[in-house]
């Protein structure tokens, strides 16, 4: 168990650093803009890489690397990749309604939770 946690921690540090560098790179290339291009790009790329890794790991017997790669690197790079994988797993099982509900609840409640957190912090701090 300790080794898995260590793999996740190391992978998370790598993924988070890559996400930061991607943001800096996009800022330098495009300048500051009103749309979060870097975050969107990380979410799309991370989700794509999650899909590739799931198939390759299963075919080549590399699932033991999942804590490091999926939870660590890709989770640190973007938590959206895990969300996308869970959604696709539901859809591939034929659970379309639960998949749609999962998407709606995840996005809606996460944005709502963030809004509540902002309001709570602003009420306490201001």
Binding site for Na(+), residues?
A: 75, 78
* Distance between CA atoms of residues 66 and 5, nearest Å: 12
- Residue ranges of the annotated binding site are 75, 78
* Distance between CA atoms of residues 11 and 54, nearest Å: 16
| Cα dist from 42 to 37, 68, 69, 75, 91, whole Å | 9, 18, 15, 11, 23
* Distance between CA atoms of residues 38 and 16, nearest Å: 13
């Amino acid at each position: 168990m300790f080794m898995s946690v260590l793999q996740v921690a190391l992978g998370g540090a790598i993924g988070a650093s890559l996400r930061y560098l991607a943001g800096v790179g996009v800022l330098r290339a495009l300048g500051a803009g009103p749309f979060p291009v870097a975050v969107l790009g990380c979410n799309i790329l991370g989700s794509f890489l999650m899909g590739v890794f799931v198939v390759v790991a299963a075919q080549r017997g590399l699932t033991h690397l999942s804590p490091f790669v999926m939870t660590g690197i890709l989770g640190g790079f973007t938590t959206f990749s895990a969300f996308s994988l869970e959604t696709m797993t539901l859809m591939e099982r034929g659970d379309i309604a639960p998949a749609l509900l999962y998407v709606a609840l995840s996005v809606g409640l996460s944005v709502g939770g963030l809004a509540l957190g902002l309001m709570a912090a602003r009420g306490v701090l201001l």
